[in-house]
Amino acid sequence: MPVPRQEFRNAMARLGAAVNVVTTDGEGGRAGFTASAVCSVTDQPPTLLVCLNRAASSNAVFLRNMVLCVNTLSATQRDLSEIFAGLTGAEGTARFEAGQWGHLVTGAPVLEGAMVNFDCRIREVLVKGTHSVLFAEIEAIRQGDPGPALVYFDRAYHAIGAQG
């Protein structure tokens, strides 16, 4: 018997994670969402795993476009996390009015000033429970200036940086 949902959620709150805005653009439209469920899979070929709630309006957009960019936020970009998490009322493409956006290889929106941008093509999708698990092969990387990163831990944002 699996553990109760709330017990799992409480335990996961103790697992700190980088805060990312994951974006896409293409025939399916332009969309983005805030995610902490992002991790590396392998370096041959360089691949990330991104979890996206299947009930999210952007799920169909990502599955149609089959490209994404993981934009890892700096501590100064917390407002973007809240916008793309849907906490401000901004929806759809209106979310992109905040921040400066460009592109690298795939056409997915790339956030200027992010800690790092991973421009990817979705190579495989696995449906697990409530989520689409996207396996995204990295086609380009751009690293931003080092500085405090934004992480989510214990249901709150925190800035962390290298200790000197």
Decide if 73 contacts 81 (C-beta within 8 A): yes
pLDDT computed for residue 162 by the predictor:
61
CA nearest 104: which of 135, 144, 134, 133?
144
User: Mind spelling out the 3-state secondary structure of 97-164?
Assistant: HCCCEECCCCCCCEECCCCEEEEEEEEEEEEECCEEEEEEEEEEEEECCCCCEEEEECCEEEEECCCC
d(CA 24, CA 109): 6
52 is a domain residue: yes
Decide if 67 contacts 135 (C-beta within 8 A): no
Averaged pLDDT, groups of 10, the chain, 164 residues long = 90 91 98 96 97 96 98 97 95 96 98 97 97 98 92 94 60
pLDDT computed for residue 78 by the predictor:
96
Q: Which residues constitute the domain of residue 141? A: 5-156
Element (H, E) at 83: helix 78-84
CA angle 11, 17, 18 (to 5 degrees): 165
Number of domains in the chain: 1
- For tokens 């990817």, the residue is 120
pLDDT computed for residue 134 by the predictor:
98
CATH for 57: 2.30.110.10
161 is a domain residue: no
pLDDT computed for residue 164 by the predictor:
44
162 is a domain residue: no
d(CA 18, CA 57): 23
pLDDT computed for residue 147 by the predictor:
87
Element (H, E) at 34: strand 31-35
pTM over 0.85: yes
